[in-house]
Structure 1
Amino acid sequence: MAEAVGGAARLVPAAVSVLALALLGACGDDEPTAGPTGGTGAGGAGSAAGDVPFELVTTDDLAVSPDGGRLLADCWDGRCTWDAATGELAQEPDGSSVAVAPDWSTVARVDDGDVVLVGLEDGEVVQTLRGLADAEVTDGSPVSAVAYSSDGALVAAAGLDGSVRVWSVDDGSEQAAFTAAYAPQVLAFSPDGALLALAGGGPVEVRDLDDGEAVATVGDSGRNGALAWTPDGRHLVGPGPDEAPTVWRLPGLQPVDELSGVRLHEAAVAPDGRTVAVTAFDTTEVRLWRPAALGRPGRARTLRGHTGEPGAVAFAPDGATVWSVAADDGVRGWDVRSGGPTTAYDLPVGPDR
């Protein structure tokens, strides 16, 4: 699955199935706020940390439909789609994916070394993208990351051997190929589709898709996988020194801003290109960061409401709402202007309920 803003996607190769048996034990700069209100409320008290025996909602990615009306994430038994306004949940068993097309026409799945594009609504195979087979992998897929370009015309995938392939969605033809020094865990197309950023397992780098050559590499970047482009393609957000959220300016990936004291988990850039939503390791908070380098300086605001550590984060197409997702309490949303919580989103029913 892919984050809706920035074109980045991560896939843990040995855990492509979302049936992960991972046991899980409002905004204000100083004071926590009450939880979200409204919605149909199925999440309720059962969402408290320690009450959920399985990872009900995966946290690698959260996709937002083009009209902002629906949210999508993988769940323990398949795919979950929420109505963004009411919080109502629809579950599709066995519908898990590793990336979602920006127009929500298709989702990407992996089948051994192949990336298979299927219709999001009907599940019919649209395209099979080949070229990442790895005979040494016997207990999972050799595919470590998948991402769509922002216009949906291209799909990129990385293999555990460091190989990276880019295909045309239209006819499945290979458009670019190169080998990285490590197996990328996240890929992110630049908004114009000309560049591909890599991270996770090695230094952040940007490749030119015309020749596959590195445009720039950040030698002192963190090794966790989190990348988000600004809409104009002039800046890239990712893990800098000490894994702090860092803004780099293209083409040379010069560091121009940093949110110190935070270990970046996931990031998304708002449609206006000036605000970055950040989740961090070892905290249940979401931060709205306004880097001076992006033209709107200001200290980070803190959004509270999760009971577990959130992962993926995404903005509404109009930038008015930001959402994040945690394994034990699912999706949470906030009004960007006021920082107040929005709708409550239903949790999927687990196998033991």
Structure 2
Amino acid sequence: MVSADALILSRAAIVGPFTGASLHVNEPGFDKPANLALWADGPRLEACFTQLVEGLLFRTRNGPKEAALEFANLQSNNIQRKPLVTLRAPTKAQFKKQLDLVAAYADLRADRAAETVAQLGPPIEFWSSMVGLTAHRHKKTLQLIDLVFSLCVHVEMRFKHIFASIRPVAFSPQIQPMIPTPGHGSWPSGHATEAFAVAVLLEALLNAAPGAGTPPNGTESREQLQRLAARIATNRVVAGVHYPVDSACGRLLGTALAEFLVARATGSRVHERGFDGRLFENADGTPKDFSLHDPMDHTSGNAYTRSAGTVGVGNAPLLNWLWEEALKEWT
């Protein structure tokens, strides 16, 4: 890196008498999404994130323990709160039952250790390996992934605080997690939320890309994307820091948050989604394991629910700019 002293010496040797402003400069437009092309990665993402989360709010109700993520389009002349996600927590007794599954998953630790440690941070390399993400070709796509990660953390940490669910290690000295237990609540799983959000985001992006084919590339990749998200989530159970029900709720929440981001970026609509942890158990009352085979489109009476109707969440011009730029990377 060139030192400040070197730059000072160079200028002094060549600058000559100052002649004032002599270059022709086009002034950027006022509040134009295209101005995002002028900024460094950090400021660009901060601007997009601010627009993404404006209007998100949380509502809680005690008995049953329930919390909802809602959205109000603050740019609308008629501001209305619309539910996006409603969560109901499992009972303490259900978490204790789930502990049997956590203990059984510990048998996989030797096989999964390398993956689990590699996935402590955002596991970008795993997604890159699947769909061919590269830093030199897919810069804006990677920024979209950063954005959905930030959205997930923003929402999941609030839900974790609201429900304050106890980690497996607190219930038994025999769990002995293979990695440090995070310093926040267990339910829902943040890794599961983030992993399924990335899976849904990439599927939508690949489906919308020009020349995606029939069926489009996102649909062709969906099974592998979902399997990877599920494996990332389950690795946290194997490690001893989560229950399977945490993964199930994270699957629902991550899916909903990715759908929200895509809708804000494209002006489309979303289904309200819900997860009721009290219903996440087998018919005989035994603890239910997490599975991708569980459908998420029931309208009622199931742990996973999705409303039949849809709600609009408006259009976010900054997000739309980044989305359109990312699409160009997949032509």
TM over 0.5: no
Q: Which has the higher helix share?
A: 2
Query: Which has the larger Rg?
Result: 2
**TM-score, normalization by structure 1:** 0.23
